[in-house]
Amino acid sequence: MPWFEDIKIGTSSDLGSYTFTHEEIIAFGKKFDPQPFHVDPEAAAQTHFGGIIASGWHTCSIWMKLMIASRTGDTLEEEPDEDGRTPPRGGPSPGVLDIRWKQPVRPGDTISYHTEVVEKIDLKSRPHLGIVRNLNTGTNQNGETVITFLGQGLIERKTPFVSAQ
Protein backbone atom coordinates (compact mmCIF):
# COMPACT_ATOMS: atom_id res chain seq x y z
CA MET A 1 0.00 0.00 0.00
CA PRO A 2 1.41 3.43 -0.86
CA TRP A 3 1.88 6.24 1.62
CA PHE A 4 -0.77 8.98 1.70
CA GLU A 5 1.62 11.45 0.03
CA ASP A 6 2.29 9.04 -2.85
CA ILE A 7 -1.36 8.49 -3.77
CA LYS A 8 -2.42 10.62 -6.75
CA ILE A 9 -5.93 11.89 -7.43
CA GLY A 10 -7.15 10.32 -10.66
CA THR A 11 -5.32 7.04 -10.12
CA SER A 12 -7.67 4.24 -11.10
CA SER A 13 -7.66 0.49 -11.05
CA ASP A 14 -9.75 -2.39 -12.34
CA LEU A 15 -10.28 -4.69 -9.38
CA GLY A 16 -11.51 -7.72 -11.26
CA SER A 17 -14.79 -9.39 -12.10
CA TYR A 18 -17.11 -11.79 -10.35
CA THR A 19 -20.00 -13.94 -11.60
CA PHE A 20 -22.92 -14.27 -9.18
CA THR A 21 -24.59 -17.70 -9.06
CA HIS A 22 -28.20 -18.48 -8.20
CA GLU A 23 -27.14 -20.70 -5.29
CA GLU A 24 -24.81 -18.21 -3.67
CA ILE A 25 -27.26 -15.32 -4.07
CA ILE A 26 -29.83 -17.34 -2.12
CA ALA A 27 -27.27 -18.51 0.47
CA PHE A 28 -26.04 -14.96 1.09
CA GLY A 29 -29.60 -13.69 1.27
CA LYS A 30 -30.66 -16.37 3.77
CA LYS A 31 -27.72 -15.58 6.02
CA PHE A 32 -27.52 -11.79 5.76
CA ASP A 33 -30.49 -10.21 3.92
CA PRO A 34 -33.50 -12.55 4.04
CA GLN A 35 -35.90 -10.63 1.85
CA PRO A 36 -38.14 -12.68 -0.48
CA PHE A 37 -36.51 -11.41 -3.69
CA HIS A 38 -33.11 -12.68 -2.42
CA VAL A 39 -34.16 -16.08 -1.05
CA ASP A 40 -37.42 -17.38 -2.55
CA PRO A 41 -37.61 -17.85 -6.35
CA GLU A 42 -41.42 -18.12 -6.38
CA ALA A 43 -41.96 -15.03 -4.22
CA ALA A 44 -39.23 -13.16 -6.14
CA ALA A 45 -41.05 -13.85 -9.42
CA GLN A 46 -44.05 -11.94 -8.05
CA THR A 47 -42.02 -8.80 -7.21
CA HIS A 48 -41.21 -5.92 -9.53
CA PHE A 49 -37.79 -7.59 -10.02
CA GLY A 50 -39.45 -10.63 -11.63
CA GLY A 51 -36.97 -13.06 -10.08
CA ILE A 52 -34.12 -13.62 -7.66
CA ILE A 53 -31.62 -10.79 -7.31
CA ALA A 54 -28.46 -10.43 -5.23
CA SER A 55 -28.52 -8.40 -2.06
CA GLY A 56 -26.84 -5.04 -2.48
CA TRP A 57 -24.70 -6.02 0.49
CA HIS A 58 -23.58 -9.09 -1.47
CA THR A 59 -22.39 -6.84 -4.31
CA CYS A 60 -20.54 -4.71 -1.71
CA SER A 61 -18.95 -7.78 -0.11
CA ILE A 62 -17.57 -8.94 -3.45
CA TRP A 63 -16.14 -5.44 -4.06
CA MET A 64 -14.38 -5.66 -0.67
CA LYS A 65 -12.94 -9.09 -1.47
CA LEU A 66 -11.58 -7.85 -4.81
CA MET A 67 -10.27 -4.58 -3.33
CA ILE A 68 -8.29 -6.39 -0.64
CA ALA A 69 -6.96 -8.91 -3.18
CA SER A 70 -5.84 -6.05 -5.46
CA ARG A 71 -3.89 -4.46 -2.61
CA THR A 72 -2.27 -7.52 -1.10
CA GLY A 73 -2.27 -10.31 -3.65
CA ASP A 74 -2.23 -13.58 -1.76
CA THR A 75 -0.34 -12.23 1.24
CA LEU A 76 -0.67 -9.48 3.80
CA GLU A 77 3.13 -9.16 4.05
CA GLU A 78 4.74 -6.29 2.17
CA GLU A 79 8.41 -5.50 1.62
CA PRO A 80 9.99 -2.35 3.12
CA ASP A 81 9.90 0.71 0.86
CA GLU A 82 12.97 2.20 -0.89
CA ASP A 83 13.92 4.05 2.33
CA GLY A 84 13.69 0.87 4.40
CA ARG A 85 10.47 1.89 6.12
CA THR A 86 7.79 -0.62 6.97
CA PRO A 87 4.97 -0.14 4.44
CA PRO A 88 2.09 2.01 5.63
CA ARG A 89 -0.99 0.46 7.09
CA GLY A 90 -4.31 1.17 5.43
CA GLY A 91 -7.61 1.39 7.20
CA PRO A 92 -9.81 1.38 8.94
CA SER A 93 -12.47 3.13 6.93
CA PRO A 94 -14.35 6.02 8.52
CA GLY A 95 -17.36 4.94 6.46
CA VAL A 96 -18.90 4.67 3.02
CA LEU A 97 -20.70 7.60 1.43
CA ASP A 98 -23.50 7.80 -1.12
CA ILE A 99 -24.00 4.11 -1.88
CA ARG A 100 -26.36 3.52 -4.80
CA TRP A 101 -27.66 0.23 -6.12
CA LYS A 102 -28.64 1.29 -9.64
CA GLN A 103 -29.58 -2.02 -11.27
CA PRO A 104 -30.37 -5.45 -9.84
CA VAL A 105 -27.70 -8.14 -10.01
CA ARG A 106 -29.19 -11.39 -11.26
CA PRO A 107 -27.91 -14.97 -11.28
CA GLY A 108 -25.28 -15.33 -14.00
CA ASP A 109 -24.41 -11.63 -14.05
CA THR A 110 -20.70 -10.87 -14.14
CA ILE A 111 -19.87 -7.63 -12.37
CA SER A 112 -16.60 -5.83 -13.08
CA TYR A 113 -15.41 -3.54 -10.31
CA HIS A 114 -13.40 -0.34 -10.69
CA THR A 115 -11.99 2.24 -8.28
CA GLU A 116 -10.64 5.76 -8.79
CA VAL A 117 -9.03 8.13 -6.27
CA VAL A 118 -11.13 11.31 -6.27
CA GLU A 119 -10.10 13.17 -3.10
CA LYS A 120 -7.44 13.34 -0.38
CA ILE A 121 -8.10 14.97 2.98
CA ASP A 122 -5.47 16.11 5.51
CA LEU A 123 -6.41 15.49 9.14
CA LYS A 124 -5.45 18.08 11.76
CA SER A 125 -6.77 15.79 14.50
CA ARG A 126 -4.62 12.86 13.34
CA PRO A 127 -1.59 14.36 11.60
CA HIS A 128 -0.01 10.94 11.00
CA LEU A 129 -2.99 9.92 8.82
CA GLY A 130 -4.95 11.20 5.84
CA ILE A 131 -8.26 10.18 4.29
CA VAL A 132 -8.33 8.93 0.71
CA ARG A 133 -11.70 8.83 -1.02
CA ASN A 134 -12.34 6.52 -3.98
CA LEU A 135 -15.27 6.42 -6.37
CA ASN A 136 -16.12 2.74 -6.72
CA THR A 137 -18.30 1.25 -9.43
CA GLY A 138 -19.57 -2.14 -10.49
CA THR A 139 -20.68 -2.71 -14.07
CA ASN A 140 -22.45 -5.77 -15.46
CA GLN A 141 -21.67 -7.64 -18.68
CA ASN A 142 -24.10 -5.37 -20.56
CA GLY A 143 -22.21 -2.21 -19.59
CA GLU A 144 -24.86 -1.17 -17.04
CA THR A 145 -23.65 0.34 -13.78
CA VAL A 146 -25.14 -1.70 -10.94
CA ILE A 147 -23.46 -0.08 -7.93
CA THR A 148 -21.60 3.13 -7.08
CA PHE A 149 -20.28 4.43 -3.79
CA LEU A 150 -17.63 6.68 -2.33
CA GLY A 151 -15.25 4.67 -0.18
CA GLN A 152 -12.92 6.21 2.37
CA GLY A 153 -9.78 4.92 4.00
CA LEU A 154 -7.37 6.20 6.61
CA ILE A 155 -3.85 5.97 5.20
CA GLU A 156 -0.57 6.54 7.02
CA ARG A 157 1.58 9.52 6.06
CA LYS A 158 5.37 9.50 5.61
CA THR A 159 5.57 12.73 7.58
CA PRO A 160 2.93 14.23 9.87
CA PHE A 161 0.62 16.90 8.45
CA VAL A 162 1.41 20.44 9.60
CA SER A 163 -1.43 22.94 9.35
CA ALA A 164 -0.66 26.21 7.53
CA GLN A 165 -2.29 28.19 10.37
Q: What residue ranges define each of the domains in the chain, with the CATH number in brackets? A: 4-156 (3.10.129.10)
Cis amide leading into 87 (omega within 30): no
CB 4 within 8 A of CB 88: yes
How confident is the model at residue 163, as a pLDDT?
Answer: 79
Cross-strand pairs, 152: 133
How confident is the model at residue 37, as a pLDDT?
Answer: 98
How confident is the model at residue 2, as a pLDDT?
Answer: 87
CB 37 within 8 A of CB 48: no
Query: What string of pLDDT tens digits covers the 165 residues of the chain?
Result: 789 999 999 999 999 999 999 999 999 999 999 999 999 999 999 999 999 999 999 999 999 999 989 877 644 456 666 777 777 777 789 999 999 999 999 999 999 999 999 999 999 999 999 999 999 999 999 999 999 999 999 999 998 888 776
How confident is the model at residue 161, as a pLDDT?
Answer: 85
How confident is the model at residue 16, as a pLDDT?
Answer: 97
Cross-strand pairs, 149: 136
The residues, any chain, with a CB within 8 Å of residue 158's CB and separated by 6 or more, are 3, 4, 5, 6, 85, 88
* Dihedral sign, Cα of residue 126, residue 132, residue 159, residue 89: positive
Does the pTM exceed 0.85? yes
Residue closest to 4 by CA, chosen among 80, 68, 88: 88
